[in-house]
Structures are given as C-alpha cells and as structure tokens.
Amino acid sequence: MKTETSNASQILLFILFIFSIACSEKSEPTPQPIPSQKDLIEIDSQIEDFLSEYNIPGASLAISKNGKLVYQKAYGLADQSQNKPMEIGTQMRVASVSKSFTGLAIMLLVQDGKIALEDKVFGEGAILGTNFGSKPYSNRVKQVTVKHLLQMTTGGWVVNGNRDAIDYEQQRTNAGFFDWMMDNASLTFDPGTQYLYINTNYFVAARIVEEVSGKSFSQFVKERIMGPLKMASTAYGKNGTQGRLPNEAVYYGQGGTKGFEYNFNIERRDGDGGLVTSAPDLLRFVTAVDGSPSRPDLLQPAFYNQFIQGSAPNPNFANGVASFNQSKYFFGALPGTRSGYMFNANGMAAAIIFNGNADYTQANYTNFANAHNALMVNLTTKNINNYQDIDQF
C-alpha cells in the first residue's frame, strides 16, 4: 500500500512539473513583428527627379538616424539591356569613396602602434625605403610623410606637366607601375606646403598598408574593416566586363566618358578608387567612422580625432574624409558611376551610389557635382523627423 501511495505521489509531482513548464512557456510574450519600411515620397521624389534630370539609369540609397538604418531603397535599372531593376543589395563601384577605406586602414595601423602619420615614406630608414624605382630620390620625395599622402599635400606625382601618374602605364603590375612612377613622376612643390588632389597618393598609401601589415591591401581591409562591420556585399573590383561581380550593376558613362567604363585598370586603383559595395554596406562603414556613440567606431577617440584633422593648406580635407559645415563626407566618380556619403552632427547619415555619371570631362560637370552635394545635404538635414524608428542593419 505504501508503495502504491509513493508511486502515485511521484506521478502527481511529475505531472505538476510538466504543467509548470508548459505554463511558463505560455507565459512568454509573443514576439512582435519587425515593422516594415514605409515609402517616403519626400525622399523618393528627390532621387527620382535627380535620375531623370541627369539621365542616370539607377541608384541605391541608405539612410541612418542615430546609428539605425531607417530607410533603404533602390531606384531605376541596374542593367538597361536586360531591364534588370536596381536592388538594395546591388553592388557598384564607389570610385574615390574608396579613399576613406584606405585612410581608415592607415589609421588602424597608427592605432596599432605600427606607424605614425608623421613617418617618412621614402628613403633610407623610411617605411618603403628605396624599394621602388631605379633613380636616386629627390629631397622632396624623401620629405613625404604618411600624412602628406592622405591629406593630398605631397606635391604631386604628376607627369606631362600636371597629369596624375595613376592614369598612365595601365598595362603594368602594381610593382612595375610603382617603379615607373618613382622614376618619371615629379613633385611640383615642397610636401606639406600646398594642397593638390592626386589619386596616386592613395595608391602609395595602399602599398604602405601592405608593407607594414605583411598582407595584401584587400586582405587587410577585409580582415580589419569589412569583416568586423559585416560588409558582405563589399569587395575590390576586377578589370573588364568579365571581372564584374555576380551582383554588380552595369555602368553607363556619358559624353567623353562613354565607352571607358571598363577600359582602365581598376585593379591598380584599389587604394584610390577600386572598391565595389552596396549602399547599406557603405552606410555600415560610415556609421563606424562618425565619432558617434550610437554604433561602435573602429577608431578610439584620440585616433578618430587624428583621422578627421585637416592640413594647414586645406583644413577641410583630412585623412580620407572631408568636412563641410557640420558634416563629414566624401564623393567619388569614374566613367559610369558616381557615389557619395555624408554624416551630420545631428545624427543623420546617408549613402548613395549611381550606376551612371555625367561627363566629367566637361566644364559644366560642376553643376552635376553641386546638385549631388545638395542632394546629400537635403537627405541629412531635412525631413529628419519623418523616418520610422526602425533599424534595418
């Protein structure tokens, strides 16, 4: 009798235990659905009007507020011949916006204690020593520092008067071009005394990253920037139409740039213009270099302050990022593509990439560039209270 009573008690306790678990499971709150993004006509109309006015096939846009991805949308076509729509994740070249990644790569090495912005680049005991070229280095070349490269105050690397060396000797490898450049390009003023925007500066900066890290430039950026920020749609571009990434848009130039969209060595341009990414991925980068506490930055405050510090010749151009009033920004242009990002002290940031570009060989290109700049200002300063409180990162 005692055994039967004991067994009955054990069974009752077991049933109560199972019942308590079931009750606790039922008491958990039901997960709320993630709010879906609502279209904002005041944003969409600006982009659509811009595409129409300047005959641009397509665009991808991403906007954040206080570190949250509050709006993302694609417009137009990624491939006109296939009538393929642009998508949020479509990859496109960002041209000179790549310089921001190179500047950050250098600053990460500075933060690591591997180099300093004031370190000399060329000559005995310098970062790159006398590894490139066959001629003795001039006194000007031996005065070039890392900071001069990033702030565009080296004095040039020009050939044929005032042409950027990066545009020449397209058939050469990076090492072969570097040798040729050191023997043939010149600095037109003393380093640190004047500002002159030259793409070759960032080609050299990328080679510094390789020398100091012991890794290829693309691998370093992948490990230290793309990976931590989960930039799965970002890579460095390959040459020719055969090098297009699976989800990369087709590019459409205009006027004098039409036909040159794939007719240059973009693999050489890794440091100054070779990045391919999507608008949301680019915004992931922007919110990691904005100095805001809303999302973790890749640079500690002291090194971030160095990153955004301009030079005496041009206080508005820093080490891969530029300043305009309360905003930091960068724009990029190549045949068939235009890109840009901007982040404002008000917590707003925007990134947009186009698979078309006006003819930048013409004097009136400044009208197009100014319109793009005005668009970015509008996106980051107007209608900022109209966004939903959602985060699509």
Span 263-290, pLDDT tens digits: 999 999 999 999 999 999 999 999 999 9
Tell me the C-alpha to C-alpha distance, in Å, between residue 346 and each of 252, 290, 325: 35, 11, 12
Q: Is residue 282 part of a domain?
A: yes
- Alpha-carbon dihedral of residues 137, 141, 142, 145, nearest 10 degrees? -150
What CATH number did the domain enclosing 164 receive?
3.40.710.10
63-101 pLDDT tens trace: 999 999 999 999 999 999 999 999 999 999 999 999 999
What is the rounded average pLDDT for all residues in the chain? 93
339-348 pLDDT tens trace: 999 999 999 9
Note the pLDDT of residue 21.
39
Q: Is residue 387 part of a domain?
A: no
Nearest CA to 339 out of 243, 234, 240, 260 is that of: 234
Query: For residues 388 and 68, what is the distance between their CA atoms, to the nearest angstrom?
Result: 10
Note the pLDDT of residue 30.
53
Q: Is residue 21 part of a domain?
A: no
Mean of pLDDT values over 127-141: 98
Structural domain count of the chain? 1
Q: Is residue 4 part of a domain?
A: no
User: How long a stretch of residues is the chain?
Assistant: 393
Query: For residues 132 and 173, what is the distance between their CA atoms, to the nearest angstrom?
Result: 13
Query: Residue 109: is its pLDDT beyond 60?
Result: yes
Q: Is residue 61 part of a domain?
A: yes
Beta strands in 29-155 (DSSP E): 58-65, 68-79, 84-85, 92-93
Q: Do 121 and 149 meet the contact criterion of CB atoms below 8 Å apart?
A: yes
Q: How confident is the model at residue 244 (pLDDT cuts 50, 70, 90)?
A: very high
Q: Is residue 9 part of a domain?
A: no
378-393 pLDDT tens trace: 999 998 999 999 999 9
Q: Is residue 24 part of a domain?
A: no
- Domain, as residue range, for 188: 41-381
Query: For residues 102 and 97, what is the distance between their CA atoms, to the nearest angstrom?
Result: 9
Nearest CA to 262 out of 336, 159, 182 is that of: 336
Q: What are phi and psi of 163, to 5 degrees?
A: -90, 140
Q: Which residue has the higher pLDDT, 18 or 377?
A: 377
Query: For residues 60 and 65, what is the distance between their CA atoms, to the nearest angstrom?
Result: 17
Nearest CA to 34 out of 349, 275, 389, 276 is that of: 389
Q: What are phi and psi of 260, to 5 degrees?
A: -110, 10
For 54, the token pair is 């300047």
Q: Do 280 and 69 meet the contact criterion of CB atoms below 8 Å apart?
A: yes
Q: Is residue 17 part of a domain?
A: no
For 263, the token pair is 């007719």
Note the pLDDT of residue 15.
41
**Going by C-beta distance under 8 Å and a sequence separation of 6 or more, which residues neighbour residue 21?**
none
Q: Do 100 and 330 meet the contact criterion of CB atoms below 8 Å apart?
A: yes
Query: Residue 242: is its pLDDT beyond 70?
Result: yes
Query: For residues 18 and 23, what is the distance between their CA atoms, to the nearest angstrom?
Result: 9
Q: Which residue has the higher pLDDT, 238 or 7?
A: 238
Mean of pLDDT values over 104-113: 99
Residue 361's Cβ-side half-sphere holds a number of Cα atoms within 13 Å equal to 9
> In which region does residue 11 sit, left (phi positive, over 0), alpha (psi from -120 to 50) or beta (all else)?
alpha
**Going by C-beta distance under 8 Å and a sequence separation of 6 or more, which residues neighbour residue 177?**
169, 203, 268
Query: Residue 179: is its pLDDT beyond 50?
Result: yes
Q: HEC states along 262-315? A: CCCCHHHHCCCCCEEECHHHHHHHHCCCCCCCCCCCCCCHHHHHHHCCCCCCCC
Mean of pLDDT values over 292-313: 96
The pairing of beta strand 163-164 with beta strand 156-159: antiparallel
Burial class (CB in 10 A: 0-12, 13-18, 19+), 10: exposed
Note the pLDDT of residue 31.
53
